[in-house]
Every structure is written in C-alpha cells, then in structure tokens.
Homo-oligomer: A and B are copies of this chain.
C-alpha cells in the first residue's frame, strides 16, 4: 500500500459528473485551473514553456471498481484497463491539458474533464507524441467505424 496526498485541486466548470461531456467524438475544451498548494509553487518553475501537461488526479467521488464495464462511447463491455472508466482498482485519472497561462501557483488550462475540487496528485510535462502511423485505438476505433461507417 502507498499513500499519496493532493498537491492541489482542480477548478472546473463541472460540479456533477453528468455535466461532463462523454461518448464518441467528445472534445474536452472546458477551461479550468490547476491550483497547486502554495508551498509547492517553486515546483512549477519553467512549466510555462510547455504547451501541454499530464495531470494525474483522483476520482474522489467515484465508488467501487468493475473489471468489465460498458463505456459511454460504446454499447459493448470492455476491460477497465482498456477504458478511462472511473471505477478502477485504483481510482486514478489522467488528463492531457493545454497550458494557457500561469499565475503564481495557479495554472490556467484548457481541456479539463474532471469535477470541480478534484484532488491533483501530480503534474508532468507532455514531451512527445506517439508516432501517428503506429497508433491503434482498438475498440474505440471500431465503435467509431460502426457509428460513422
């Protein structure tokens, strides 16, 4: 067992999970703020140079875990590790956001899909893409093909 504690919290327009856009073709363009704890502000030095960040966070209002579930983007069940379901063995979320601006310990970002007040565990720079021609997107690509053949 490992213990982790929030380095800060997300400010997001979403107060309820039902407000978060989901399903095939969803684009996450909502603006939000990553509010890092004041005493950790030094850890943000030079982050302004990166256009995109990984945010690792906690699904703190999700309960239980299911190994097989049907995501909003498909009508068929898939394994939890092949989806972004909140009902995971460890309720950890991962989101790529675009960094718009930094104001001291606050990072103004675009692309939040977390609830307001979501605890943040870590922030890392997004350094490189996977080579696009080698990227395969499994059941998601299949579900898209069935919907828009």
A145 in contact (CB, < 8 A): no
Contact B46 A139 (CB under 8 A): yes
| Given known contacts A50-B136, A132-B129, A122 and B90 CB-to-CB distance under 8 angstroms | yes
Contacts of A68 in B (CB 8 A): 42-43, 45
The interface size bin for chain A is: 35 or more
Give 1 or 0 for each of A2-26: 1 = CB within 8 Å of chain B CB. 1111010000000000000000000
What is the oligomeric copy number? 2
Contact A138 B89 (CB under 8 A): no
A72 in contact (CB, < 8 A): no
Contact B45 A82 (CB under 8 A): yes
Out of B1, B49, B139, name the residue touching A3 (CB < 8 Å).
Answer: B1
Which residues of A come within 8 Å of B, CB atoms? 1-5, 7, 36, 40, 42-52, 54, 56, 58, 60, 67-68, 77-84, 88-90, 92, 94, 96, 98, 119, 121-130, 132, 134-142
